[in-house]
Amino acid sequence: MFNSIVVLFNSYCRSTARMLRSQILVLLPALLCIFLAPSYAASESKPPPSGHIVVTGSVSLANLISLWADDFTLRNPRISITIADAGGAVGVEALLNGSANSALTDMPLSQHENARFMEHFGYAPTVYPVAMDGVAVYVSSLNPLKQIALPQLDAIYSATLRCGAEQPLHSWHQLGVKGGLSNKHITALGLTVANGAYLLFKHVALCDGDFSANFQALAGPASVVWALVDNPAAIGFASSARDLAGIRALAIAPQVEETAVTPSIQSIQSGRYPLARRLSMIINIPLGQDADPAVQSFLNYARSTAGQAVTTKAGYVPLPEH
């Protein structure tokens, strides 16, 4: 009797197993369709972005744009990038005349630029911060001066003395410099009005005053650096991205008796450095529409961890959240 029950039980188990196997074989294709179809459909509906980007920027930002473009196209081979001639139209002007579809700028848009864009397109340009920088004041490494105050810079560079100085500063001994440079004339160097550093320096260090007739405006940051190396009696302003042998960035104080702050990542990100600034990307997004997918991808990259790492490599300062 017991043997008969065992035989019947084994037969039942084998029959049940065969039935389950047949049901699994029938259901498996359906289950695969259920789980795989959505991801396949998503990949079909969202292919990698493709297109062409023309990006422009000032001469001083050419290095950053080039490094971004090289890294971005390696990560996004379906998107090509042309870097427009930095000597041509830049910023809003390049967007207005169609020579670029994105622009990297080192200065805030002026009311005039916003108004021109609005008049041309009927809506405002879209501006995203992508990096930070400081306008540094450099001297030769042979110059013992370590810090300077904004009113002293005004006394060196301006003809109007709006920041509180009582008289112009012409010689290094007036700043307490001793030794061979003591009686040397201070040669004031900087960048041209086409550069955002010029406008920021004029606004902060000159209190929106006028540059003196002796001020020498040079074409780019590299020109300022080499002039400082050649002339130990010179002082010059350019981007803080310049970190080369032969020159030194001065710490800057708001007033003579106040604490001077050096241009560092932390002081620029926090805004403690008096000549800190944001670098921004300007793009044209029509009302009610999304940005061009290729341009949006480039913008997302620039603000990403990877893009901000390239920002640091280029000598600029990443956004605070990075």
Q: Strand, coil or helix: what is 187?
A: strand
Q: pLDDT tens across 203-262, in order?
A: 999 999 999 999 999 988 889 999 999 999 999 999 887 667 899 999 999 999 999 999
- Contact (Cβ atoms closer than 8 angstroms) between residue 30 and residue 70: no
Both 151 and 102 in one domain: the answer is no
pLDDT tier for residue 299 given thresholds of 50, 70 and 90? very high
**35 in any annotated domain:** no
3-class secondary-structure state, position 321: coil
What's the pLDDT score for residue 89?
A: 57
In a domain, 247, yes or no: yes
Closest CA to 189 of 144, 137, 146: 137
How does residue 195 score in pLDDT terms, banded at 50, 70 and 90?
confident
**Quick one: pLDDT at residue 36?**
43
* C-beta separation of 68 from 309 below 8 A: no
Place of tokens 């002026």: 110
The per-residue pLDDT for 244 is 77
End-to-end CA distance of the chain: 79
Are 151 and 286 contained in the same domain? no
Helix axes 62-75, 293-303, angle to 10 degrees: 110
Kindly state the average pLDDT of the residues 289-297. 96
Establish if 220 belongs to a structural domain: yes
Q: Are residues 125 and 67 in the same domain?
A: yes
Q: Cα–Cα distance between 142 and 177 in angstroms, integer? A: 11
Both 100 and 146 in one domain: the answer is no
| 280-309 residues labelled b (16+ CB within 10 A) or e (exposed) | bbbbbbeeeeebbebbbbbbebbbeeebbe
Q: Which residues pair with 211 in a beta bridge?
A: 158
Distance CA 224, CA 250 (A): 15
Q: What are phi and psi of 187, to 5 degrees?
A: -95, 115
Q: Does residue 23 lie in a domain region?
A: no
Residues 178 and 262 in one domain: yes
What tokens does 22 get?
């047949």
Residue 30's pLDDT band (boundaries 50, 70, 90)? very low
Write down the pTM of the prediction: 0.79
User: Mean pLDDT across the chain, nearest whole number?
Assistant: 86
Which percentage of the chain shows pLDDT scores above 70? 83
Residue 67's CATH number? 3.40.190.10
**Residue 15 falls within a domain, yes or no?**
no
100 inside domain: yes
pLDDT at 39: 40
Q: Each residue of 46-68: pLDDT tens digit?
A: 678 899 999 998 777 888 999 99
Is 46 a domain residue? no
Q: pLDDT (tens digit, 9 = 90+) per residue, 160-181?
A: 999 999 999 999 999 999 999 9
Residue 217 domain boundaries: 133-276
Q: What is the DSSP string of 93-131?
A: HHHHHTS-SEEEESSPPPHHHHHHHHHHHSSPPEEEEEE
- Confidence at residue 322, expressed as pLDDT on a 0 to 100 scale: 57
Number of domains, the chain: 2
Mean pLDDT for the stretch of residues 258-277: 96
Q: What is the pLDDT of residue 59?
A: 72
Residue 60: what pLDDT?
72
Do 270 and 290 sit in the same domain of this protein? no
